[in-house]
Amino acid sequence: MPRSRDVVFPRRERVEDRRKDAGQRKLLDEFFDHGTLLAVSRLVTQGLFDVLDHPISQGKEGGVFRASKGTELRAVKIYRISNTMFRHLPPYALEELRREASARNYGGLIFAWTRREHTILGRLADAGVRVPVPYGHYRNVLVMEYIGNADGAAPRLKDVPIDAPAALYEELVREFGRMIRDAKLVHGDLSPYNTLYHEGRVVVIDVAQSVRTDHPQALGLLERDLTNFSRFLGRLGYDVEPAEFLRAVGGDRLVAPASEA
């Protein structure tokens, strides 16, 4: 088994990083505590990837790193072991997590959150929704398909110049429709900020807070998701009302709770 720090970066590259970019080393030290290093090492031993290449993105909850497996690129998402991420979760998502997980400490809940994202990604992929295909997970580390190419990761939809907003709308209708009708899931936090755009297709990410379409809040969450995209499309010059968007994806078939009906 390779030494745990050697699976993060090859030794020679790590020395060069210390010389060239102390900030990146600080970032790595923030993410790779002893437990996370052991988790990464285990996933390497299982053959999910060979080595981490460099960070792609980071946030308060965690970060995503590009990894290599032979000539293939993969993405590795690592959640920080802290209570920080739970401060940003809506109550319904935290309730769902506590219902599914037997653990009550932060570490156990984060492991359950990682497992939940892996499971939901698989469910969406099976339904034909364009998401990063999950390959495996352990503790707070998730390995999945890399969306991008050797030149860089795919950009967020909000950062992409869109020449044909009508075609984008049709693409969104297809993907969100599959999510609702086939996967029976509502994302709940969907916007151009957490949707990627790669090779003319939208790619849905950050899915762990998704709920089933029979969840009491599913319709309200879906309406909020689609309103976000209606506004985005409007800024691109393509006007579509949220109610029309809702009908197009089949969301009008969701039943509101009796108190809202």
Residue of 17, 126, 163, 189 marked catalytic? 189
Angle at 215 between CA 100 and CA 126, to 5 degrees: 75
- Can you list the pairs that 80-83 forms with residues at least 24 positions away whose Cβ atoms lie under 8 Å? 80/30, 80/31, 80/110, 80/140, 81/33, 81/35, 81/36, 81/106, 81/107, 81/110, 81/140, 82/106
- Known catalytic residue: 206? yes
Query: What are phi and psi for residue 143, nearest 5 degrees?
Result: -110, 130
Say how far apart CA 64 and CA 58 lie, in whole Å.
Answer: 6
Residue 131 — left, alpha, or beta (φ > 0 → left; ψ -120 to 50 → alpha)? beta
Residue of 29, 163, 206, 239 marked catalytic? 206
Say how far apart CA 222 and CA 2 lie, in whole Å.
Answer: 45
What's the Cα-to-Cα distance from 95 to each of 89, 100, 104, 115, rounded to whole Å?
10, 9, 12, 16
The upper half-sphere exposure of residue 261, i.e. CA atoms within 13 Å in the direction of its Cβ, equals 8
Catalytic residues: 189, 206
